Amino acid sequence: MSVNLTIVYYSATGTIAELAEEMARAAEHAGNDVRVRRVAELAPQAVVDAKPTWAAHAAATAHIPIATADDLLWADAVIMGSPTRFGNIAAQLKQFIDTLSGPWSQGLLADKIYSGFTSAGTAHGGHESTLLALTNSFIHLGGVIVPPGYTHPDKFADGNPYGTSHNTRNDSYGVDETARAAARVQVARVLRYAHATRAVAAA
């Protein structure tokens, strides 16, 4: 039995997008249905264009659909990703979450599996606090939060029990195998619990 997984992310220069793609490949390889969705950019085009890596990534991912509430309604499990912004999620992802009040007020986003992932430019740049901030929103949605924890040897290498995270070393260090392995562990754990809750609901 497959489950529906929606991965919603914001990525300025590509790190979060790469982690989202890694998770999507792993989920699809396991026979599940996956939607990968980016959230809308809020920064002025002139600001984006002023940073070549930001502009290049925006152009390269323009074909990826923009997330809507329907993508969450469709899902059994939702994984959200954001770079850290002063220890919090990016405004772009927060703005998307702020559009969910309609289905939230009807209880339509409750009882789904939720999990998060992030990146930061330094080793202590807000990895954990960003994921905890994202978890606050999942709680308000009535979600069932599934962190990866230290449930696999690859998570001890990654070092973050709250979710997958990657240190870009101020944008000088691309997504490595440690982060990719952690992403695969996280998505497998999310899918395991999504399968379990779907089976219970169908019983």
Confidence band for 149, pLDDT divided at 50, 70 and 90:
very high
Worst-scoring range by mean pLDDT, 79-83, 101-105, 122-126, 170-174?
170-174
pLDDT above 70 coverage of the chain, percent: 100
**In the chain, what is the straight-line distance between the N-terminal and C-terminal CA atoms, in Å?**
13
Q: Which whole number is the average pLDDT over 164-191?
A: 93
Tens digit of each residue's pLDDT (9 = 90 or more) over 16-65:
999 999 999 999 999 999 999 999 999 999 999 999 999 999 999 999 99
How far is the C-alpha of 73 from the C-alpha of 96, rounded, in Å? 14
Confidence band for 197, pLDDT divided at 50, 70 and 90:
confident
Which pLDDT score, from 0 to 100, does residue 24 have? 98
Judged against a pLDDT cut of 90, whether residue 112 lies above it is answered with: yes
Judged against a pLDDT cut of 80, whether residue 1 lies above it is answered with: no
| pLDDT mean across residues, the chain | 95
Confidence band for 14, pLDDT divided at 50, 70 and 90:
very high
Contacts 24+ apart (CB under 8 A), 146-150: 146/77, 146/113, 146/114, 146/115, 146/189, 146/190, 146/193, 147/115, 148/115, 148/182, 148/185, 148/186, 148/189, 149/189
Tens digit of each residue's pLDDT (9 = 90 or more) over 93-109:
999 999 999 999 999 99
pTM: 0.96
